[in-house]
Amino acid sequence: MSTADAPVATLTPIEARLELERLASAIARHDHAYHVLAQPVISDAEYDALVRRNAAIEARFPEFVRPDSPSRRIGAAPAEGFRKVRHAVPMLSLDNAFTDEDVREFASRLRRFLGLAADEPVAMVAEPKIDGLSIALRYENGRFVQGATRGDGTEGEDVTANLRTLADLPRTIVGAPRVLEVRGEVYMTKADFLALNARQESAGDRVFANPRNAAAGSLRQLDPRVTATRPLSLFAYALGEVSEPVADSHWHFLDHLRQWGFKVNPLAKLCPDADAVLAFYHQIGNDRAGLAYDIDGVVYKVDRFDWQARLGTKDRSPRWAIAHKFPAEQARTRLKAIHISVGRTGVLTPWAELEPVNVGGVVVSRATLHNEDDIRRKDIRAGDTVVIQRAGDVIPQVVGPVSDQPRGRGEYSIRAALTPPGGDHPVCPACGSHAARAENEAVWRCTGGLVCPAQAKERLIHFASRDAFDIEGLGEKNIEFLWDKEYIRQPADIFRLGEENRVRLQKLENFEGWGKRSVEKLFAAIDARRTVPLERLIYALGIRQVGEATAKRLARHYVSFCHWREAMEAAAAGDDEAYRDLTSIEDIGPSVAADLLAFFAEEHNTTALDKLVAQLRRIDDARAAHTGGSPIAGRAVVFTGTLATMTRQEAKARAEALGAKVVGSVSRKTDYVVAGTDPGSKATEAQKLGVPILTEQQWLDLVKG
């Protein structure tokens, strides 16, 4: 009998060591045959027997467990999840266009930005917008080394092993730059999706709502062997990090992708102008149902790479591309009841509980009703049969009641719904404080502020959410739990949860669903966020009208937390100059400013902020995070006169991307005036105040350096 057949119980230590070595290499070989070559040489049952034998020997001889043991590779993944990958170049999303008019406007925006004549065509490549999930594929010296999901655009998950199981993925490529990151979409064809669901159903496993979910669920399997059984496809369509230029236009880049062995959507088309892309869109719209895969629109990309570079990017999307969406998908269902939820800013939002219905492939059981006026205008009542619509990722909406069905119970009144039986005024359903609708506002609000648990809870959920502090493991459910246990009431409490509070911690571990490991992981995740970029901190505070884009603008303008804080308090205290400086920031008008200052005027807010900051290790300056020490970061710049190499808009966008503040008029606080030809009064003013005046060339040299 060879060692390979000997019962585990009879193995000597030396035999056990040899046998573990043999099994490790055999299992690795079979993994490769299965995942990479897609040509398994043994059956699943035989494979499982090898894995079990390996585990049994390791159990008897734990001292011989090898560093490359298959049990470590297979067993370790599920508990840990995927490794995080930081994208060298952010993975952006796309702005949307819904009408032909939007697309023409996009085309003229491009022309204006680039300073082209009205009749100069801007060629674009039009490609179907595949409804799957985007991924980044990294090749080094022609070998596929890493694949990652988009995640939040900055950081995704390492799904390399799973991607290796895709037949469409080239594993090696010839003639590519040393570093090449190709981006594309993983998707499932409609036929593969139906067949997979049939298989899942007969095996008693979960079925997927649509091909997109099926693709996402299959790619994010912790065991690559499961992914390997799922029929995933891949189209390549974009470039990420690259060590040297690969093409001068998107159209030529697509040629390279094909040569390298990637699948490129065969419908992609080079269009000379806006008319041509619109013709393509309407054609695809007609053919949509007959395509093998789901698409939700058409993407248009400026063809010339030099123009793409000049156009650059905005907060989360490039200026050189747009997604032209197809109209929303609709369905009919019964509206069972109207409920009211309390948002983090106290807004009371009515929402519809629906008889679950499939809308364009997704099962919907809730929809927003926006506000009182909207309900009244559409005359929506509980009990109605209504039309529901879903536009992309947007929360489903109730379009209105259908007229050919019996109507529901009487007219809906939010005032009546908020007034308890026997009560004489409307109250917040969460805290019982007065509910009121301000004169010129469309919404009802709870007046309970921080005493309202729904608001405070929603604020905490927002605070920990992905785009804010991004505390892993602190989602809605866990915040509710910690809130109900009275462990957290405000952001600072999150950071005090573990500190000096062993008892609480131990108590926590005894609660259901909170194993020792998950508690430890949560504390580690919280600790990891004691260092935070300023813009995230500002966004996390949940101030009304201060979304991500505004938070980013504030952070870039004030650069450091201390500056921002001082400026806000000064403005809130009535300092005119501070107020003018605030409203000079793009998109910050009197209304946003009023909300910001209202936040700082409330003492309980500033106290909560102080307590939070005391818990943090560091708040990163906006300059450091974004501009890598650019010489113009934080500087106030005025452009005047006609520039020769770029449009004013382009100059402004570039300066802001490097952290400068571009302002409209010259004052003592201006750092530079950049003067083109015919500069006019601003240059004179600068001279008078002694502000440095740069020529366009001097400016270009400065920002280049």
Token code pair at residue 484:
């109900």
Residues 54, 69, 134, 630: which binds ligand IVH (CB under 6 A)? Answer: 134
Which one of 129, 269, 552, 682 is the catalytic residue?
129
Distance in Å from the first CA to the final CA of the chain: 74
Q: Of 549 and 703, which CB lies nearer to ligand IVH in the complex structure?
A: 549
Q: Minimum distance between the CB of residue 187 and ligand IVH, rounded to whole angstroms? A: 9
Cα angle: 169, vertex 25, 40; to 5 degrees = 45
- 487 is a site residue for ligand IVH (CB under 6 A): no
Helix, strand, or coil (residue 238): strand
- 185 is a site residue for ligand IVH (CB under 6 A): yes
Q: Compute how many residues bind ligand IVH; rule: CB under 6 A.
A: 15
Q: Of 185 and 458, which CB lies nearer to ligand IVH in the complex structure?
A: 185
Residues 129, 256, 536, 556: which binds ligand IVH (CB under 6 A)? Answer: 129
Check if 129 is active-site.
Answer: yes
Q: Of 257 and 622, which CB lies nearer to ligand IVH in the complex structure?
A: 257
- Residue type (1 letter), 77: A
Give the Cα separation of 529 and 292 in Å (integer): 44
Measured between alpha carbons, how far is residue 148 from residues 56, 75, 165 in Å?
A: 34, 21, 14
For the four alpha carbons of 366, 370, 372 and 373, in that order, the dihedral sign comes to negative
Residues 50, 166, 321, 335: which binds ligand IVH (CB under 6 A)? Answer: 321
Q: Minimum distance between the CB of residue 210 and ligand IVH, rounded to whole angstroms? A: 15
Pure H helices in 584-705: 590-601, 603-615, 622-627, 648-657, 681-689, 696-704
Q: Of 69 and 134, which CB lies nearer to ligand IVH in the complex structure?
A: 134
Residue number with the shortest CB distance to ligand IVH? Answer: 134
Q: Minimum distance between the CB of residue 361 and ligand IVH, rounded to whole angstroms? A: 16
Residues 182, 323, 643, 666: which binds ligand IVH (CB under 6 A)? Answer: 323
Helix, strand, or coil (residue 122): coil
Q: Minimum distance between the CB of residue 299 and ligand IVH, rounded to whole angstroms? A: 4
Closest CA to 230 of 242, 221, 240, 222: 221
- 302 is a site residue for ligand IVH (CB under 6 A): no
- 318 is a site residue for ligand IVH (CB under 6 A): yes
Q: Of 277 and 582, which CB lies nearer to ligand IVH in the complex structure?
A: 277
Q: Of 56 and 291, which CB lies nearer to ligand IVH in the complex structure?
A: 291
Q: Of 93 and 560, which CB lies nearer to ligand IVH in the complex structure?
A: 93
- 127 is a site residue for ligand IVH (CB under 6 A): yes
- 27 is a site residue for ligand IVH (CB under 6 A): no
* Torsion angle, alpha carbons of 573, 576, 579, 585, to 10: -160
- 125 is a site residue for ligand IVH (CB under 6 A): no
Rounded to 5 degrees, what are φ and ψ at 16? -60, -45
- Region from 10-18, 38-46, 70-78, 315-323 binding ligand IVH, contact rule CB under 6 A: 315-323
Pure H helices in 404-547: 414-418, 453-464, 476-484, 491-496, 502-510, 516-528, 534-540
Give the Cα separation of 241 and 249 in Å (integer): 16
Do residues 677 and 644 make contact, with C-beta atoms less than 8 angstroms apart?
yes
Q: Minimum distance between the CB of residue 265 and ligand IVH, rounded to whole angstroms? A: 7
* Torsion angle, alpha carbons of 489, 492, 495, 496, to 10: -70
- Region from 29-37, 127-135, 217-225, 591-599 binding ligand IVH, contact rule CB under 6 A: 127-135
- Region from 88-96, 172-180, 503-511, 543-551 binding ligand IVH, contact rule CB under 6 A: 88-96
Subset of residues 90 to 109 that bind ligand IVH, contact rule: CB under 6 A: 92-94
- 238 is a site residue for ligand IVH (CB under 6 A): yes
Q: Of 237 and 280, which CB lies nearer to ligand IVH in the complex structure?
A: 237
- Region from 122-130, 372-380, 456-464, 548-556 binding ligand IVH, contact rule CB under 6 A: 122-130
- 672 is a site residue for ligand IVH (CB under 6 A): no
For the four alpha carbons of 352, 353, 357 and 362, in that order, the dihedral sign comes to positive
Q: Of 307 and 599, which CB lies nearer to ligand IVH in the complex structure?
A: 307
**339 forms bridges with which residues in the sheet?**
351
Do residues 342 and 454 make contact, with C-beta atoms less than 8 angstroms apart?
yes
Residues 113, 237, 260, 305: which binds ligand IVH (CB under 6 A)? Answer: 237
Pairing mode, if any, of strands 618-620 and 531-533? parallel
Q: Which residues contact 587 (CB under 8 A, 6 or more apart)?
A: 549, 550, 553
Pure H helices in 288-371: 305-311
Catalytic residue numbers, as ranges? 129
Binding site for ligand IVH (CB under 6 A): 92-94, 127, 129-130, 134, 150, 185, 237-238, 299, 318, 321, 323
